[in-house]
Amino acid sequence: MSLGIVMLVHDALDRAGQLVRHWATHDCPVVVHVDANVTRDDYVDFTSALSDLDNVRFCKRRHCEWGTWSLVAASQAASEAMLETFADVKHIMLASGSCLPLRPISEMRSYLGKRPQTDFIESVTTEDVPWTIGGLDIERFTLRFPFSWKRQRRLFDRYVKIQRSLGIKRTIPDGIVPHLGSQWWCLTRETLTAILKDPNRPTYDRYFKRVWIPDESYYQTLARRHATRIECRSLTLSKFDFQGKPHVFYDDHLQLLRRSDCFVARKAWPHANKLYDSFLSDQPVVLTGAEPNPGKIDRIFTKAIERRTRGRPGLYMASRFPREGFEGNVTAARYTVLEGFSDLFEGFDEWLADTVSARVHGNLFARDKVHFAGGAPDFFGALSDDVSLRDYNPKAFLTNLIWNTRGERQCFHYGPRDNQDVSWDMAKDPNARVYVVSGAWALPLFHSNRNFSDIRAEAARLQKIESEHLTALRSGYARARSQIWSLADFVLNPTEPLQTVVDDIGPRGVGPLPSLPKMKSLNGFGQFLQDLKNQGMHPYLMGDFPAGHDLVPTTRILRKPYLVK
């Protein structure tokens, strides 16, 4: 007999009784503290059900409340009873009524037997722990906390504030350095005796009565003073969520808990029958002798915390609807917005689809319909090509599209003829890669046979819209990565910008572009712009096109030399 269990019980008494019986019948004496909030009848039922076990004791009951001294006092009383009653106990473990032993108790005893001088208690200084609730770390030890955090939150907060503003600080008693850690420990008889028999104990107790959450710091601090060899980890697997309450284990965690090789897990859902049945059964279990390895479980719960606090960027749903500015990224994945390219080149989409590995759409925000790749009437996630559905919530359309196609790069055209409601959404989105050939919208006008006064009005309208869009892209709020070329600059040297676009999306091949798309004729475009000017409109987004002669690209495609083998 070397391991004794000090158990704090406050609810789910049937499960607690089952656990007490399990420990006790496996030669581990148990001292139980039952919360005084448990009714008299329930308590009597509980104790009488366990009366056949001769190595189980019940200590004096007191009211316990989370985060207060009462929990420490309860464990002190139970520990004292343990040390007095069971002289041959070498290690004492603090457990709760929902701490489930995961490995055979004989194995746990032999593990402890091999480490007779080791105290298993998580104990770190306040500077080194990230888990501070309510922004209190060292202040747990230097302020006073007479009010309950759960029941009297307002008084609690106010009293903290007053103390802070007055600069009141308690002095930490000599001889101790505040440490924090999991409240579930397993100490040697020597250490626990030293803590409880310390001549300064009244001083320490008085001090810790006003410390916040003393059950996470009392033993953790004093063990540092008395222990000879501290193994700074808890034998109890216990994960906390972002609110600081323990994660609960259910039936579906069975395999995970098995493989964790931990000795004890907190806490199991009282109705998780499969867990209790399999871990408390006496069937012969393989003794693995392995060191506890909670890595896998850790990952699951870390992911849960991350999901709760950061979520999946780009997802908008019934339980994630971030305020503007708190989305993380507006959309789920990187995408490319091309402006002006389809006006300037013939067959640009076919060329791009051949050159890069991505989905190349037409103008998704066009006024007539949604031009999905290949002219499809619907797309991933059952998005419809209907304009009124899209325009009802264009931002949702964009975020849905990108969310639905995670894993596949999306490219689409955009321009001043399209719905502009998403202009700012794209500009603020770090995932957007926006490439603009500014002023290219004039080319379809140039090639059209419309009445010139209509063309002039239309050009003025489109220029205004594109100019506003460019303002968004260049504003201080913009987080999209955008590149803007004027039409004139682009025409002079189209290879380099196209190479940039293709490289960013991810080309199918390597090296320089094998071919360029065919540029539409620009003969007479300079004169066309001059005519607009003559009509009193000022087309400035295209850059400088001389009226007299036409611009000619200065770069040529470098063709691969033919190889003759």
Partner 1 sequence: MSVWTSYRLRLKRKQCHIRAFRKRRELTTVINRTSAIAPDDILCFSTIRNEAVRLPYFLSYYRDLGVNHFFFVDNGSDDGGAEYLADQPDVSLWSTDASYKRANFGVNWTGWLQRKYAHGHWSLVVDPDEFLVYPFCDTRPLRALTDWLDTSGVRSFGVLLLDMYPKGPMHNLSYAAGQNPFELADWFDSGNYSITKNPKYGNLWIQGGPRARAFFADNPENAPALNKIPLVKWHRKYSYVSSTHALLPRGLNLVYDQWGGEKASGCLLHAKFLDTFKEKSVEELTRGQHYADSHEYRAYHDGTNEATDLWCDWSEKYLNWRQLEMLGLMSKGNWA
Sites of contact with partner 1 (CB under 8 A): 241-243, 245, 247-248, 250-252, 269, 271, 300-301, 303-305, 307-313, 315-323, 326-328, 376-384, 386, 388-389, 392-393, 396-397, 400, 403-404
Q: Which ranges of 385-494 does DSSP label H, i.e. alpha helix?
A: 387-392, 394-404, 423-427, 442-447, 452-474, 487-492
Residue type, 249: F
Alpha-carbon distance of 109 to 59, in angstroms, equals 24
Q: Minimum distance from CB of 298 to partner 1 (Å)? A: 11
- For partner 1, the closer of residues 351 and 397 by Cβ is 397
Q: How far is CA 338 from the centre of its chain?
A: 32
Output the DSSP codes for 105-145: HHHHHHHHHT-TTEEE---EEGGG----GGG-STHHHHS--
Instruction: Give whichever of 244 and 512 is closer to partner 1, judged by the CB atom.
Output: 244
Minimum separation from the CB atom of position 99 to partner 1 (A): 16
What is the Cα–Cα distance from 442 to 537, expressed in whole angstroms? 13
Choice between 131 and 321, CB closer to partner 1: 321
- Kindly tell me which of 110 and 393 has the beta carbon lying closer to partner 1: 393
In contact, 210 and 266? CB cutoff 8 Å: no
Kindly state the smallest distance separating residue 377's Cβ from partner 1, in Å.
Answer: 8
- Distance in angstroms (rounded) separating the CA atoms of residues 506 and 500: 10
Q: In 268-300, which positions are buried (b, 16+ CB within 10 angstroms) versus exposed (e)?
A: bbbebeebbebbeeeeeeeeeeeebebeebeee
Q: Which helix (H) or strand (E) holds 57?
A: strand 56-58
Minimum CB separation from partner 1 for residue 384, in Å? Answer: 5
248 phi/psi in degrees, rounded to 5: -105, 145
Report the nearest approach of partner 1 to the CB of residue 379 (Å): 6
Shorter beta-carbon distance to partner 1: residue 196 or 256:
256
Distance CA 287, CA 289 (A): 6
Nearer to partner 1 (CB atom), residue 167 or residue 295: 295
By C-beta, is 147 or 301 nearer to partner 1?
301
Q: Rounded to an integer, what distance in angstroms lies between the CA atom of residue 257 and that of residue 482?
A: 49
Biggest CA–CA distance in the chain, Å, is 109
Q: How far is the CB of 170 from partner 1 (least distance, A)?
A: 30
Q: How far is the CB of 44 from partner 1 (least distance, A)?
A: 21
| Smallest separation, CB 124 to partner 1 (Å) | 24
Nearer to partner 1, 53 or 396 (CB): 396
